[in-house]
Amino acid sequence: MSTGPRTPDTGERGAEVQAMFSEVRPTAPGSLFERWTGLLLILAVGVSALIGAVFIFSDIDRQLEANRVAHLDNRTWVLAQFEVDVLNFVSAVQLAAYRSGDPSRLEAVRQKFDILYSRVEIVRGSEPGTIDVLEADVLPIFSGPDGFFARWIPVIDGPNAQLRDALPQLIVDLEAVSGIVRSGVVESLADVMQISDERRSVLRSSLQTFALASLGLLALMGVLIVIVIVQSNARRRRGVLLERSVHNLRATIESSLDAVVVLDHMGRVVECNRAALDMFRWSAEAAQGANFVEYIRTDDADSLLRPQPRAEDEPDPGLSGRDGRITMMAQRTDGTTFPVEVSVAEAQGASQDPFFIAFIRDISERLEREESLKKARNDALKGEEAKSRFLAVMSHEMRTPLNGLMAASDLLQSSTDLTERQRWLTDIVIGCGSAALDQVNNVLELTRLSDRDGASYARSVFSPAEVIEGLIRQNQPQADKRGNKLWFAPPKGEVPLILAQRHLFLRVMYNLIGNAIKFTDHGKVSVELLWRAGTRPGTLDLCIHVNDTGIGIAEEHLDTIFRNFETLDSSYGRIREGTGLGLGIAKLASETMGGAITVQSKLGLGSVFTLRVTVPLAEASDLSAEEFADEAPAADDVRRSILVVEDNAINRQLLAEILRMAGHEVTLAEDGAEAIEAAAVRRFDLILMDVSMPRVDGLEATRMIRQGGPCATTPIVGATAHADPDRVPEFLGAGMNDVLVKPITRSALFRAVRQFAGCGQAAEETEAATPEPAPAEGLPLIDSELRADLEGNLGPDYIAGMINRVLTEAGAALPEMRRLHEAGDHHAAARLAHRTAGAAAAVGLVALHRTLSGYETAADASDSDAAGRALESLPVTIERTAAAIQPDAA
């Protein structure tokens, strides 16, 4: 086995690998195309310039040859000599006429005539187009059919006497011809000179063009030389870079912690690094030429090293990787297997033979870590489940005895004349029970806030100012005990109602106000509420300051006060009681609402805690009767029949005693089975059902009761010690109308009786009614007491507007309810009725609420007849209610 990295140029295999890497063409297809396009363009320009130069040179040669022929022809001399010959002939004729008796003169005339005749023949034989004037005007006079020669040749060749007699006439003819010859020769000479000038001009232009083409060729040659030099230098630099890249790649492969194996197109090992030798336990000699497929365990091993298909016109990609990494098993030379992760890159060399580079990672340790993490995760989930079960058990087992303790003390104080000492002792019991309940609530609340978001908490309509005023009244005794002045500074104007998580808002403000009172002695604690319209439509920005003049907080501790179970130094932690949960819960609750808490404080001067949160504004459809119910309503003065189902004997007796003292008829059941039996015998106005019970629990009992019988439509209110809000939809889905969380206070119990106990009676009246009378007939149209209370809190104008809006929405919903009812979609019609009924109850429209609720109950029970009767009476109820409101509005 090799003991160290090998250099890339040792041995034949190293040279082969070097050649493989050097053959990889990294040039991108686009740059290769651009380079060849440039070279072809330069070559085309060069060839075009060369062809143009040859053409120009040929034209110059042709023009030089034409000039050479014109010089040999000597047209100018011929023309001038033609005129001279004519003049010599005229002179000879005149001399012969003067010496008519001398025969030698006649022979001279014949000689000059012959010379003139020869000259005319020479001119006629010249190149056509060079002496156009002579050819057109002069030569026809001499050589035409009726020309000079045709008339005078017989005379010239005749006897001397004939010639001598004709000399005078000959002189006359020659005088007529000589003028024409003179002008023709002059014009022809001008034409010849012009042609000569034009040919010289063309020759000069051709020579200039040739010179420019020659210069262009020289420049092109210079450019080509520069390009060749630049490309040569670039090729040399690329060669150096390629050599360096290959060297770096080899060094990277050799130093890689993962195994790297270079394979030829047959899958044989060409080269590998030391990590591969150690991983597969190869020796350097055994690794060379080994079939790599034999060392991997996968069903598709051959395809791993199969060249990827590529279109014929697709350029060579050089070095390319396969998609993703493949997990498989590998085998060492000793037969042991281990998990690996393989990634294969394919390279194409100049020889067109592919080779592969396989990157292999041993993932044994990673899989072991993943398995450990899975086990730890499962253990954590089990621990979380155990914690949830523990909290559920703690919630139930601690809240149940606290419910009995506090209910018994409350009942004792309200129903018995106690001595001063007895009342003091019962106050201690109630105080200690409340303190214990607060601790349980804090722990459970902390768990819920840490594990869930704001969607787990139901939203309701409330006034933030009223919530703060209630908390001020609740904390006033504690403030008086510490000598503090506690007051609330409400904003100017009316604070709009909001739709938010009232529980979270109450928790934040309760903890902030309680914390301020707790750490202030003989000082001041004030709460200031500011609000403005939100930046988004339909929202409200709240800013609430809780100021105190207490002991203050050191600056270095401002970040730690919001940590759970964290207290400060002795002056802030040990002297003052507390678990360190209050501010942490307040911070988590504010963040769950989408807000934030900030603090400003100086040690010894006091603190200012500020809550800033943006909440939605409430609309009429969001209102429900529960939102405006009295926080501590008195017992209903109407006697109701109530079935109390509770497995705990103490709680069962306490609930029965409280209800009986309020004048109600109470029937008791120890578990769900007894509740089912009791509900099958008679009808109750209300069933108070514990959730967790032996034999048959409250959910199953509710489902059984809802299936049919006298109490199928009776309101059922659940009672549970489980404070988890996530289970409330489950309770409601089983058929319950509402859920009370233990310990159940008298005010909460009476509120549930007042809200739900009449529904069963209304439903019963609805079933018994005939189609003629309205279901709400005989009922008051408006709850005057509730309306007066609403007007006192919110103002008459606001309530009047809300009532008109509810009536308008009810009238608008009526056609849709009829359509859904006629189509048989009772469930959708019931949802629509429920939404409008909630708004009607919120503003005290009793008859309208009862009519809509009666329709909802009948529709949910699929009682088409009863639902139809309620639907027919709905328009009458709306008209009667509107008519009853008009006088009040006036």
Distance CA 331, CA 553 (A): 67
For domain 460-628, the CATH superfamily is: Histidine kinase-like ATPase, C-terminal domain (3.30.565.10)
pLDDT tens-digit series, residues 741-786: 766 767 778 888 888 875 433 333 333 333 333 344 445 677 766 6
Which CATH code of 3.40.50.300, 2.40.33.10, 3.90.1150.10, 3.30.450.20 fits the domain covering 256-308+315-362? 3.30.450.20
Q: Over 50: is that where the pLDDT of 70 sits?
A: no
Rg (the chain; Cα; Å):
60
Distance CA 643, CA 650 (A): 16
Quick one: three-class SS letters along 445-489?
Answer: HHHHHHHCCHHHCCCEEECHHHHHHHHHHHHHHHHHHCCCEEEEE
- What is the pLDDT confidence band of residue 323, given thresholds at 50, 70 and 90? low
Q: What span, in angstroms and rounded, lies between the C-alpha atoms of 711 and 703?
A: 11
Q: How does 579-596 read in b/e, with b if 16+ C-beta sit within 10 Å?
A: ebbbbbbbbbbbbbbebe
- According to DSSP, residue 620 is labeled G
- State which of 293-297, 389-393, 432-436 shows the largest mean pLDDT: 293-297
Averaged confidence pLDDT in the chain: 75
* Residue 870, token pair as written in the block: 């309620």
pLDDT band at 626, cuts 50/70/90?
very low
State both tokens at 791: 């007007």
The 10s digit of each residue's pLDDT in 655-713 is 887 788 778 889 999 999 999 999 999 999 999 998 888 888 999 999 999 998 889 88
Per-domain residue ranges of the chain: 20-253, 256-308+315-362, 376-450, 460-628, 769-890
Secondary structure class of 313 (helix, strand, coil): coil
- pLDDT value, residue 592: 84
- pTM of the complete model: 0.39
The correct CATH number of 769-890 out of 1.20.120.160, 1.10.3720.10, 3.90.1300.10, 3.40.50.40 is: 1.20.120.160
Task: Classify 684 as helix, strand or coil.
Answer: coil
Virtual CA dihedral for 414, 415, 420, 424, nearest 10 degrees?
-50
Q: Across the beta sheet with 596-602, what order do the strands follow?
A: 485-489, 524-533, 539-548, 606-616, 596-602
- 401 preceded by cis ω (within 30°)? no
Distance of CA 500 to the CA centre of its chain: 30
What per-residue confidence (pLDDT) applies to 679?
92
Contact 780, 871 (CB under 8 A): no
Q: What is the pLDDT of residue 612?
A: 92
